Amino acid sequence: MNFQQLEYIIAVDEHQMFSAAAYSCNVTQATLSAMIIKLENELGFQIFDRSRKPITSTDLGKEVIEKAKTILAERNTIHTIGNTDPNEIHGEIIIGVIPTIANNLLSRILPALIDANPNLQVKVKEITTDEIIRALKRKEIDLGIAATPLNDPNIEEEILYYEPMMVYGSESEKKEFLLNEDLLDDKIWLLEEGHCFRDQVVTLCGLQKKSNEVENLSFEGNSFETLLSIVDSFGGHTLIPELYYLDMSKEKRKKTNSFKKPIPVREVSIVSYGPSQKSTSVNYLARFIKGEIEPLLTTKKYKNKDLRIVGLR
């Protein structure tokens, strides 16, 4: 039995297909299958029921897979032993990031993070908040970056920054929106169900389902890019986070406006399961991300009383 075999069975359990699991592990399907069969022969029972499509884990296989996740998580913590340098981390770290944060955060932090930590192996998965919580509890990822608070007593949260929400749709000079006066009677186009940013917009604006519909069209986008295109075509407004705004063209920025105080913001945090086994990494990454991102956001010029944290439903 070796770590590689444990990684393979976890991949098959996740993908429920040997071909997809092999691709994710960057090996041939024949190699992956042979290594798993060898492990099953060593254990004396089958880990997977191959007669079913998609492939499922046997009862004993489920126990093995859970143990495998624990073993691999513990293996990764060995790399942090003796790491007393507060300015560098090393080893491997697996991070889950929600799509509405990943799009404009990762390009700002990953190049500098890797450059500053040449002995660090970073694996990033772009997944939803619910998937991050499940993956943390299953020890499939080490940390997550998500909008908070999550209100889960088992999830630890380290706040990174507060990101202002902005309005796209009306080209005007230095206009600041006041929710009750400017948005509630207009069409607000939303991301599809499952995106926490959608929930925050609904909470902030008190929206009903009809808010993102026009005659003959009901639309829910999967990205900010598609929402902006719909607004340009059909009118109305949509909300975007400030980091996304910073990556927009000058023409798009002309149609983007801020809110009046108190500024609605989303709270973005590093999340981990229970007392993190990678507390050194959490502390380091929190400092690193804050240092890279906080200077870019307009929240730096406001006091706490000028901000309104928009929670999740």
Q: Which CATH number is 14's domain given?
A: 1.10.10.10
Instruction: Verify cis geometry, omega within 30 degrees of 0, for the bond prior to 275.
Output: no
Q: Is 77 a domain residue?
A: no
What are the pLDDT digits (tens) for 119-172? Answer: 889 999 999 999 999 888 877 888 999 999 998 888 889 999 999 999 998 776
- Report the chain's mean pLDDT, rounded to a whole number: 85
Q: Is 11 a domain residue?
A: yes
Percent of the chain predicted with pLDDT > 70: 84
Distances (CA, A) of 36 to 30, 154, 279: 10, 33, 33
Q: Is 310 a domain residue?
A: no
pLDDT tops 90 at residue 104? yes
Q: Residue 79's pLDDT is what?
A: 57
What are the pLDDT digits (tens) for 170-217? Answer: 776 556 766 555 666 678 888 887 788 888 887 777 665 445 555 555
Q: Residue 266's pLDDT is what?
A: 93
Q: Are residues 125 and 254 in the same domain?
A: no
**202 vs 70: CA distance, rounded Å:** 38
Q: Is 195 a domain residue?
A: yes
Q: Are residues 207 and 240 in the same domain?
A: yes
Q: Is 85 a domain residue?
A: no
**Lowest-pLDDT range, 34-43, 71-80, 119-128, 204-213?**
204-213
Q: Are residues 60 and 174 in the same domain?
A: no
Q: Are residues 141 and 106 in the same domain?
A: yes
Please state the rounded mean pLDDT for residues 28-55.
Answer: 92
**Lowest-pLDDT range, 23-27, 34-38, 205-209, 289-293?**
205-209
Distances (CA, A) of 126 to 105, 179, 220: 12, 31, 20
Q: Are residues 8 and 123 in the same domain?
A: no
Please state the rounded mean pLDDT for residues 2-27.
Answer: 90
Q: Residue 209's pLDDT is what?
A: 47
Q: Are residues 147 and 11 in the same domain?
A: no
Query: Do residues 187 and 212 lie in contact, with contact meaning Cβ atoms separated by under 8 Å?
Result: yes
Half-sphere exposure of 166 (CA within 13 A, CB side): 27
**141 vs 150: CA distance, rounded Å:** 17
Range of the domain at 273: 91-161+266-303
Q: Are residues 258 and 170 in the same domain?
A: yes
Nearest to 237 by CA among 288, 183, 286, 280: 183
Q: What is the CATH classification number for the domain harbouring 98?
A: 3.40.190.10
pTM of the model: 0.71
3-state secondary structure of 86: coil
Q: Are residues 51 and 126 in the same domain?
A: no
Domain count, the chain: 3
Six token digits for residue 313: 């439903």
Q: Residue 136's pLDDT is what?
A: 87
Q: Is 311 a domain residue?
A: no
Query: Do residues 220 and 142 lie in contact, with contact meaning Cβ atoms separated by under 8 Å?
Result: no
Q: Are residues 257 and 275 in the same domain?
A: no
**11 vs 239: CA distance, rounded Å:** 37
3-state secondary structure of 13: helix
Q: Is 96 a domain residue?
A: yes
Q: Is 115 a domain residue?
A: yes
